[in-house]
Amino acid sequence: MSNAAATVEAREAGYREALYAWRSPIGPDLVHRLDPTDRESVRTLMASRPDAIVCANDWTAARLMHSILQLGYAVPEDVRLVGIDDLEYASLLPVPLTTLRQPTREIGAAAFAAMLDRVTRPDTPVRDILLQTELVVRRSCGASPAAHRASRST
């Protein structure tokens, strides 16, 4: 999708960097941009028999999950699915969604501190602020029930 947010672009770049770091093949067939509610696009994607799909956010993953299920596929049996954000409804989807939890409170605090720094020192160079995320393991990735419990206990 040509109007993707900058965070989607950054997440895609991070995905490619992770593939590179693990010496995994990086091909154009590993990244798809599509409307997750467009059943024909999803049907085409599923015809390629992906093992897993990592979505740029939970909203996309939730809509994609519904399309996948409506097409008669099973999550995680036919395809594993992961999102990013850990939105409140991620655990309430037909198949609870594995996701990366964003430290939203810390993001807000860091943004506020950066803004104050910029106000007091306007010549401060632009910088990236990186914060730690947390993997929340649920059924959509096909992990064992023990992994789900371990994820919830942290």
Higher pLDDT pick, 124 / 3? 124
Distance from C-alpha of 55 to C-alpha of 77, rounded to nearest angstrom: 17
Say what the pLDDT of residue 13 is. 86
Helix ranges restricted to H, 1-133: 6-21, 39-47, 58-70, 104-120
Q: Tens digit of pLDDT for each residue in 2-46?
A: 556 778 888 888 888 988 999 988 877 788 889 999 999 999 999
Q: How far apart are CA 81 and CA 97, in angstroms?
A: 7
Amino acid at 46: M
Place of tokens 């104050």: 116
Share of the chain above pLDDT 90, in %: 64
Tens digits of residue pLDDT in 44-68:
999 999 999 999 999 999 999 999 9
Q: In whole angstroms, what is the distance from residue 151 CA to residue 137 CA?
A: 6
Average pLDDT value for the chain = 89
Confidence class of residue 152 from pLDDT cuts 50, 70 and 90? Answer: low
**Span 119-137, average pLDDT:** 91
Separation between Cα atoms, residue 151 and residue 134, nearest integer Å: 9
| All residues at 6 or more sequence positions from 76 whose CB lies less than 8 Å from its CB, including other chains | 95, 139, 140, 141, 142
CA distance 38 to 50: 17
78-90 mean pLDDT: 95
What pLDDT sits at residue 144? 78
Spatial separation of the C-alpha atoms in residues 97 and 138, rounded to whole Å: 6
pTM of this structure? 0.81
Evaluate the omega torsion of the peptide bond into residue 76 and state whether it is cis, within 30 degrees of 0: yes
How large is the average pLDDT for residues 101-119? 92
pLDDT at 29: 79
